[in-house]
Structure 1
Amino acid sequence: MKLNDRLYDLFADKAKSVTIEVLSLGLGYTAVTTSDGGMGISYTYFESKKSCALNKDYDDYEGKSASGLLEKIRSTDTVQRSMALALINALNYESALSLPEDRKNTIMFEKFNIGQGTKVAMVGFFGPMMRLFKERKAELEVMDSFRGLGGKENFYEKLENWADVLFLTSTSILNNTTEEILERTGETVKTVMIGPSTPMVREAFENLPVQMLAGTVPVEKEKVLKAVRHGTGTPVIQRFSKKSFLDLF
């Protein structure tokens, strides 16, 4: 996918001068720390566990140049892409950490005019946001394959002809559906990429119809690493992180 290639190109030079310190492949999220003080996380994407191994092409990346793992953003294996995306977020750590915060999603909701009658299409079920949509009386259509929510073709029709705003999980980068979804998005729809996996990198989305990036940047690094090792989810990880956002328009 072009987005994966773009992410690789943007960080290829930096990866040559950085080594990986810790790679933690958790059940819920993957975390990577780097020699320049960076830390990034990404959703650990796998559809089913059919054997004792999730990462079947084992390579010990710790203590080695980040270049080797960065290449895996173009792998056909979703677990390898999960590790590579966490690395990309680690390589972008200082930039992401400097961005403003929107811990309660207030800025995001105001920016996209989420209110009574707003038609929201969401790819990926984000439970904590449901209360906000209900409070603001927005209309909602959700597609989440893991939860069995929303038929693909019906959702795409709504995305083309009905929706005002698209909330698109950055897990779509890991299953290579980001560009497919955006291609089916109506011309007037405003899109925000959301979730801890989100690479907060303006240049990566320059040629895509995305108006905002909303991600998670670890602050208390050891606590985030422990949360990843313990198989926790987004609410726990975000206790020890900053919820950054980046306007693209």
Structure 2
Amino acid sequence: MRDILKELYGNLPYSKNQVKSFAVGQKYVAVLLTNGNIGVSATLMNSITSPPHNILSNPNFSNYEHRIVVNAWVNANINYSEPTNGKADIFDAIDFSPFKSLVMVGYFGSLVQKFVDKGIKITVFDLNEQDVPVEPIAHQKESVANADGIILTSTTLANNTFPNLMSYTNNHTKVYMLGPSTPLTRQIMDMHSGVSGLFGAKFTPFDSEVLHWIEQDGGTRTFLHRMEKVYVLRD
């Protein structure tokens, strides 16, 4: 199956002259371009030990650390260049009530609560089975195969679990990618017919506060109020 990050990077080769600064923290990496664009990628607590400039100059797509940094670079370049369908939380943009078998891969606590409040059943999986209320990961393949709707964390691009997860889906499954790590480009939907929507983030140009919180090891909540939730849907 095609490697989304590798293909997107191939269209957006690294140029250090385009970078104003990097921010590396325990939970996120950010790239700030000279034009003010900001791209972020979650680390899932994986350490970035090499300088981002060195990684982007010659990324190894078999290396998780490299893929995280590439994800942030791609997002900084691509998330401002294509028109979006709107600004909204995924729960407000998509009517999930018609789905018969919903699965979430990657635990989004506040979103899960919205499903609970509306009485919509959703089965949740996360690599962290200890600290969050999720199903055993051993059941994930079967649940994904039987799902008609999937909310998929975009961190699956960097950790390279995306190809396997997509291979489990059936031809009628609608997949919605979610999170600040999401590259907001229709190229993803061109590569994968099952992807129906991309829900990610844009930041105000040159917002140094975002980079500050990331360098302070802040997670999504620390910069949530500084990001705009935007989405791209399949035409």
User: TM (normalized to structure 1)?
Assistant: 0.82
Cα distance change on mapping 1:118 and 1:60 into 2, 3 Å: closer
Hey, what's the Cα distance between the residues in 2 that align with 1:129 and 1:91?
28
Hey, what's the Cα distance between the residues in 2 that align with 1:127 and 1:60?
30
Contact 1:8–1:70 (Cα < 8 Å) also in 2? no
Does 1:125 pair with 2:117? no
Residue 188 of structure 1 aligns to a residue whose secondary structure is coil
Contact 1:227–1:237 (Cα < 8 Å) also in 2? yes
Match of 2:223 in 1: 237
Deviations 1:188-216 (A, max 9, x none): 21110000000001113312110000001
Match of 1:50 in 2: none
- Which segments of structure 1 move beyond 6 Å, counting only runs of 4 or more? none
Match of 2:145 in 1: 160
How far does residue 226 in structure 1 lie from its aligned partner after superposition? 1.7
Which sections of structure 1, spanning at least 5 residues, go unmatched? Answer: 48-53
Match of 1:211 in 2: 196
Residue 21 of structure 2 aligns to a residue whose secondary structure is strand
Does 1:87 pair with 2:69? no
Cα distance change on mapping 1:30 and 1:6 into 2, 3 Å: same
User: TM (normalized to structure 2)?
Assistant: 0.86
Match of 1:193 in 2: 177
Q: Pick from 143, 153, 176: which aligns with 2:160?
A: 176
Match of 2:128 in 1: 146
Q: Name the structure, 1 or 2, with higher relative contact order (CA <8 Å, separation 6+).
A: 2
Contact 1:45–1:79 (Cα < 8 Å) also in 2? no
Cα distance change on mapping 1:230 and 1:213 into 2, 3 Å: same
Which sections of structure 2, spanning at least 5 residues, go unmatched? Answer: none
How far does residue 37 in structure 1 lie from its aligned partner after superposition? 2.4
Q: Percent identity?
A: 23
Cα distance change on mapping 1:139 and 1:42 into 2, 3 Å: same
Hey, what's the Cα distance between the residues in 2 that align with 1:22 and 1:39?
10
Output the amino acid matched with 2:109: G
Residue 87 of structure 2 aligns to a residue whose secondary structure is coil
Residue 125 of structure 1 aligns to a residue whose secondary structure is coil
How far does residue 117 in structure 1 lie from its aligned partner after superposition? 6.9
The count of corresponding residues between Structure 1 and Structure 2 is: 229
